[in-house]
Amino acid sequence: MRLSVNIHENDMMCLNNDGRFVLDIKNIYEESEAVHINDKLGFSYFKFNNTDNFNIVEWQGMFTDDVRSTANASESVFGLNFIMDGVVGTEIGRIKETCKIGTNGFYSMNSESVRHTYFKKNIFSSSLSIAFHKHYLETLANKYPVFLGEAYKRFDSGETFKLATKSQNTSLEMIHIISQIKNAHLMGNARDIYTESKVLELLALQVQNDINYKENLNCNRFKSISDIEKIHEAKRLLILDLNQSPTIPELSKHVGINECKLKYGFKEVYRKTIYQYLFEHKMNLARELLLDTGYTIFEIAYKCGYDDAGHFSNAFKRKYGMNPREFRRGRATY
């Protein structure tokens, strides 16, 4: 049977005159579905959804003074944390940060860690956390080693860490999934399997967030003349022979910078991705040839890097809203 528990100031055990109190929430956590804490500092509300594979905790609260909460882990924790409202400061070992509304973190905390959480007075805050059980995380890591293998090894070794050193932005897609998780009870008997599918979906998005973050760390803004010259050279090679345009890995090798830096730098310099730039170049060339030459559609398609005139016509229509023959007949100006 799941219980809802209300805890008031008189239920707290005061340690000394500095106003601190201790609440052993472990048994309450395991036996209750929701916990309301009301005392002279304000209020906190916890809602739990405990499964065999993970635990979900929804929290919200507001305090009448600046508050620091200290939590000791009874076992290692690996999970996700989403700040839905307010501003929350966290400190786990040497990891310190201020988490704002609309941000999230992917973290591992060993059983000896102490977590401090800081709340500003009169600011309503709320969050949703998902903690994965070790056996389930191990299963996921074995199934998806490229994405979770390294993180699981660090977790299993007892390391305390965050996958990304800074909190990441929570996307609208993530917010939608969190809402679905919160309302999973509406699925009736399918609640558990529905919740698990949504948790995995959220985990996948968070892992991709982490991958994108790490890639961006390697894509610093271009400051040197050498960097810019390499991007210009990449552009020259890209359009040198439209029938044999190099791939991004080939361009990267030719100009001597990694793929991530090449893609980032190209967009910085030309305001388009590499493939957007190539497409625009082909369509501009096609337009000029249609207006200024007597080449056939097939010949123009070939000169623009298309072996198939049909594919060329479809691409041209996508750009200009009419096929090449209609464009040539109308002699329209774009």
Q: Give CATH superfamily name and number for 225-330.
A: Homeodomain-like (1.10.10.60)
Go through the chain and tell me how many residues it has.
Answer: 334
Whether 154 and 107 have beta carbons less than 8 Å apart is answered as no
> What is the reported pLDDT for 32?
52
> What is the reported pLDDT for 11?
42
Residue range(s) occupied by CATH 2.60.120.10 in the chain: 3-171
pLDDT: is 94 or 13 the higher one?
Answer: 94
> According to DSSP H, which parts of 127-258 are helical?
134-143, 150-156, 172-182, 191-217, 225-240, 248-255
For tokens 């003074």, the residue is: 65
> What is the reported pLDDT for 190?
94
Q: Give CATH superfamily name and number for 3-171.
A: Jelly Rolls (2.60.120.10)
42, 43, 36, 28: which is closest to 7 by C-alpha?
36
> What is the reported pLDDT for 289?
94
> What is the reported pLDDT for 7?
44
Q: Considering the entire predicted model, what is its pTM?
A: 0.61
Residue 76 predicted with pLDDT over 60? yes
199, 271, 261: which is closest to 230 by C-alpha?
261
Whether 184 and 198 have beta carbons less than 8 Å apart is answered as yes
Distance of alpha carbon 142 from alpha carbon 181, whole angstroms: 25
For residues 210-224, average pLDDT: 63
Using DSSP, state whether 46 is helix, strand or coil: strand
> What is the reported pLDDT for 217?
59
pLDDT digit string (tens) for 122-135?
A: 999 999 999 999 99
> What is the reported pLDDT for 334?
45
pLDDT digit string (tens) for 245-280?
A: 999 999 999 999 888 889 888 988 888 899 999 999
Residue range(s) occupied by CATH 1.10.10.60 in the chain: 225-330
74, 35, 33: which is closest to 50 by C-alpha?
33
Q: Which pLDDT band, with edges at 50, 70 and 90, does 107 fall under?
A: confident
pLDDT digit string (tens) for 149-189?
A: 989 999 999 998 888 767 788 988 999 999 999 999 999 99
The H or E element spanning position 118 is: strand 114-119
pLDDT: is 158 or 1 the higher one?
Answer: 158
